[in-house]
Amino acid sequence: MNTTIMLFLLQDGITNGAIYALLGLALVLVFAVTRVILIPQGEFVTYGALSYAVLATGKVPGTAWLAMAMGLVAFALDLFDARRSLRLKRILRSLALNIVLPAAILALTYGLAGPTTPIAVNIALSLLIVAAIGLFLYRIAFQPLAHTSVLVLLIASVGCHLALQGLGLVFFGAEGMRGPALSSVALTVGPLRFTGQSLAVYGLTIAFIVALWLFFGFTLMGKALRATAVNRLGARLVGIRTTLSGQIAFLLASLIGAISGILIVPITTLYYDTGFLIGLKGFIAAIIGGLVSYPLTAVAALIVGSVEAFSSFYASNFKEVIVFTLILPVLVLRSLAAPAVEEEKD
């Protein structure tokens, strides 16, 4: 170990930590608003990355058809819920959101996909597809369970993860994929070389953190989400639609996951199940942040990324073990700090 190697490892750790920070922020956002521990966050990463990689080859990813199918299911659920009072306005709104939107995305994907399609168009199509999947996932799996316990929501989250991971194998196969880099620009600072991809990771992470801070602090919708996070019943009493809050939270989480995947896939080969491990490291950062603090989650993510980088140098065989062990002292400290609760007696 010397100064140059240490700088390289620190650079790698900060790059990985920036990705984990994005995922950790998404997990905190979803849990705060809906009480859902979003285990499928890793699948949003995979779907975004591999959809982008497939589009770069000129083909249409199967995720576009998945969004269409999930939209049909969501529309059927809306019709079932409104069977006793069929209002034309409500049906038309559901039709536009659940049928017209995914159909338009599917048509755009078929119309624009090709070997000469610009990278920016492929990125936009990937984000649209994954955002639609995230939106419909909440409607199908979590909105009917919104008032149940956190344990029930966790079980549903695990089920969604397994289903989306299996579908990922069907859509993308078992072989890994890589996508084209967003930029070929490179910057050299001393012994370190920053590629355009790593600069994009840093820039987008900072931009997302600032944007979320502005969104939650200064917009009416952001304040509504914060109110829903504090007290769902109170939010409903003052006229805030908690269902809409959940949809927005899942929409933002799916977009953040897809962007993270698009940032990763030019750097390393991704497989259909890679996102789960990446999402777990974001989950560690979110747990360290208490699933409530965005700044603490971002700082914890950088620590997780740095620990992973140095662990890969000193003990590469135990890298994952060392990273996941970080969660143990945090859980112990939180359990000691939490007030004691007596168990109910029968």
Q: Give the three-state DSSP class for 186.
A: strand
Worst-scoring range by mean pLDDT, 5-19, 100-114, 189-203, 240-254?
Answer: 189-203
pLDDT at 126: 92
214 pLDDT higher than 80: yes
- Give the mean model confidence (pLDDT) for residues 310-334: 79
pLDDT at 339: 61
Contact between residue 22 and residue 208 where contact means Cβ atoms under 8 Å apart: yes
Who has greater pLDDT, 290 or 141? 141
Band (344; pLDDT cuts 50, 70, 90) = very low
Q: Give the three-state DSSP class for 187.
A: strand
164 pLDDT higher than 60: yes
Contact between residue 274 and residue 53 where contact means Cβ atoms under 8 Å apart: no
pLDDT at 136: 93
Count CB neighbours of 18 within 10 A. 25
pLDDT at 336: 77
Band (340; pLDDT cuts 50, 70, 90) = low
- Give the mean model confidence (pLDDT) for residues 65-90: 86
Whole-number mean pLDDT of the chain?
83
pLDDT at 338: 61
Band (343; pLDDT cuts 50, 70, 90) = very low
How far, in Å, CA of 54 to CA of 291, rounded? 34
- Give the mean model confidence (pLDDT) for residues 317-337: 78
What percent of the chain is predicted at pLDDT more than 90?
22
| ∠ CA 305-309-313, rounded to 5° | 165
Contact between residue 279 and residue 39 where contact means Cβ atoms under 8 Å apart: yes
182 pLDDT higher than 80: no
